[in-house]
Amino acid sequence: MHSPIQLPETWQTLLSQTIESPEALIRYLQLPETILQDAHRASAEFTMRIPRPWLDRIEKGNLDDPLLRQVLPLGEELNEVAGFTQDPLEELHSNPVDGLIHKYKGRVLIILTGACAINCRYCFRRHFPYAENRLGPAQWQNIIDYISADKSITEVIFSGGDPLVSSDARIKQLIADLEQIPHLTRLRIHSRLPVVLPQRVTASLTSILQQTRLNVVTVIHSNHPQELDDQVATAIHHLRQANVTVLNQAVLLRGVNDSSDILAALSEKLFNIGVLPYYLFTFDPVKGAAHFDVPDTEAKQLMRQLQDRLPGYLVPRLAREIPGRGAKTLLFIDQD
């Protein structure tokens, strides 16, 4: 009698198997139960959500693992810290129609979904009112009308949540609608899924991205070289084969990547798999995540060290998003 053929797990199956219980996380990673009470309190404020492909890259029993630190709910999240707010980028002031954010000239950001495959504890949208920005048919038509009426808009950014949580069929239809707007030339997709759930980069998805008339850029989000395994490399390869430009943006995080050795290794590994470092963001002061903050003086020192050891094209731009400004604010290392 032959054994049944084991088919590869689909990304939808893996997405449905995310861990949302602190008890399950502690069991799976063999962590001390002393962290359980704080993990429960913090996850009650902002749900814990971790997919299995990410869990499998974490060293069991190590509370200081850099991937664990990004997703583990901590009691520190409940501390009130001056200057850390629920809307640190004041996006609600740039929300002219439901589901759309228009902050910068020439481009708009569309909130495709409030869902993510992973809930990063430092997320600057952890308090965003996704329920008020649901993208139903009426909201989508309002967005199409808004973009159509403004010929200065040449680029649309798919964001979220994570836009790649959406199905291939939905993404295909949204792109088809946008292609009918003649002044649009680029589509940018900001997604963590190629890193945390690389199985999401399907042949169907890459075919859709390859066939559109729009120039497609995917900005992935990786903060540490440990995140980039062979499956991630394969996903990036498939995107590049579809003529998609792939960039990376990272966030400078205390206890995760606040080291020039780690940041240099991240840039090298990104480039080795076909991704160009793009931005290294200083921390957005979102309520509940102050323990990740790294001071500007330290960030600039890290950038000096990176410049000393890496070619210029592997040095990400150190930047901050300041509400009300017309672009990201670059932090130059000689500004002390």
| Helices marked H in the chain | 11-16, 22-29, 36-45, 52-55, 66-71, 137-149, 168-179, 193-196, 203-211, 230-241, 260-272, 296-309
**Statement: residue 55 has pLDDT above 60:** yes
- Single pTM value for the model: 0.91
Dump pLDDT digits (tens) for 70-86. Answer: 999 988 877 777 666 66
Dump pLDDT digits (tens) for 19-30. Answer: 999 999 999 999
Least-confidence region, from 118-122, 232-236, 239-243: 118-122
Band (133; pLDDT cuts 50, 70, 90)? low
- Separation of first and last alpha carbons in the chain: 73
Mean pLDDT, range 31-47, rounded to an integer: 92
Band (6; pLDDT cuts 50, 70, 90)? very low
Dump pLDDT digits (tens) for 271-308. Answer: 999 999 999 998 777 777 888 899 999 999 999 999 99
Contact 127, 285 (CB under 8 A): no
Percent of the chain whose predicted confidence (pLDDT) is above 70: 89
Band (334; pLDDT cuts 50, 70, 90)? low
**Statement: residue 127 has pLDDT above 70:** no
Tell the CATH superfamily of the 91-330 domain.
Aldolase class I (3.20.20.70)
pLDDT, averaged across the chain: 89
What is the predicted pLDDT for the residue at 289?
82
Any idea where the domains of the chain sit in the sequence? Answer: 11-78, 91-330
Least-confidence region, from 49-58, 103-112, 115-124: 115-124
Token pair in block for residue 73: 């709910």
What is the predicted pLDDT for the residue at 155?
98
**Statement: residue 44 has pLDDT above 50:** yes
Band (1; pLDDT cuts 50, 70, 90)? very low
**Statement: residue 114 has pLDDT above 50:** yes
What is the predicted pLDDT for the residue at 335?
47
Closest by Cα among 141, 148, 140, 215 to 182: 148
